[in-house]
Amino acid sequence: MFVLNQLRRSFGVCVVLGLVTGCAVSGGEEQTEVTTAALSASNGSERAAIALRWAPIHYQDVDQTGSHALGGAADYITRYDYDGDLEGRNNWQHAGNAAYPLSAHAYYSVVETSTHWFIVYVFFHPRDWSDSFFDTEHENDAEGLLVTVQRDGSQYGVLKSAVTVAHKDFFSYVPSGGNWTSGSESIDGTLPMANFNGDLHPVTAAEAKGHGLKARGGYDIVGDGVVYYPSLTTAQVPTNPNDRNVSYQLVDIFEPGGMWDQRFTSSLFAGFGSFAGDKSDGCGSGTIGCDENAANTPWGWDDHDDGPGRGALAMDPAGVAYNYFHIPEAISGVYTFNPYLTPLSNNQLYDLRPSHALNQCADVEGASSADGANVSLYDCHGRGNQLFWAFDQGNGYWALVNAMSGKCLDQVPGSSDGLNVAQWGCHFGDNQLWHPEQAPGSNFFTLTNKQSGRVLEVSGNQSTQNGANIQTWTYDGSGDMKWQITRH
Q: Residue 378 is part of which domain span?
A: 343-487
Residues 145 and 185 in one domain: yes
Residues 164 and 181 in one domain: yes
Of 235, 162, 226, the C-alpha closest to 192 is 162
The predicted pLDDT at position 10 comes to 30
CATH (domain of 473):
2.80.10.50
Q: What is the mean pLDDT of residues 24-30?
A: 36
pTM to 2 decimal places: 0.78
Residues 63 and 125 in one domain: yes
Residues 101 and 244 in one domain: yes
Q: What is the mean pLDDT of residues 175-190?
A: 97
The predicted pLDDT at position 60 comes to 98
Structure confidence at residue 443 as a pLDDT band (50, 70, 90)? confident
Q: Which residues of 336-366 are buried (b: 16+ CB within 10 A; e: fewer)?
A: eebbbeebbeeeeebbbbbbbbeebbbbbee
Residues 146 and 13 in one domain: yes
Residues 179 and 145 in one domain: yes
- Tell me the percentage of the chain whose pLDDT exceeds 70: 92
Residues 306 and 378 in one domain: no
The answer to whether residue 22 scores a pLDDT higher than 80 is no
The predicted pLDDT at position 106 comes to 98
More confident residue, 13 or 200: 200
More confident residue, 471 or 346: 471
Total number of domains constituting the chain: 2
Residues 290 and 193 in one domain: yes
Choosing from 313, 337, 361, the residue where a domain stops is 337
DSSP E strands in 129-196: the ranges are 136-150, 158-166, 169-175, 181-182, 189-191, 193-196
Of 84, 79, 83, the C-alpha closest to 95 is 83
Residues 380 and 231 in one domain: no
Choosing from 308, 337, 366, the residue where a domain stops is 337
Q: What is the mean pLDDT of residues 146-174?
A: 97
Cα separation of 300 and 163, whole Å?
15
Residues 307 and 362 in one domain: no
DSSP 333-376: -SEEE-GGG----TTEEEEEEETT-TTEEEEEGGG--STT-BEE
The predicted pLDDT at position 101 comes to 97
Residues 17 and 51 in one domain: yes
The answer to whether residue 7 scores a pLDDT higher than 80 is no
The predicted pLDDT at position 341 comes to 83
Choosing from 316, 337, 358, the residue where a domain stops is 337
Q: What is the tens place of the pLDDT at every residue in 246-278? A: 999 999 999 999 999 898 899 999 988 999 999
Q: How high does pLDDT run on average in the chain?
A: 91
Of 166, 174, 104, 461, the C-alpha closest to 325 is 174
Residues 134 and 272 in one domain: yes
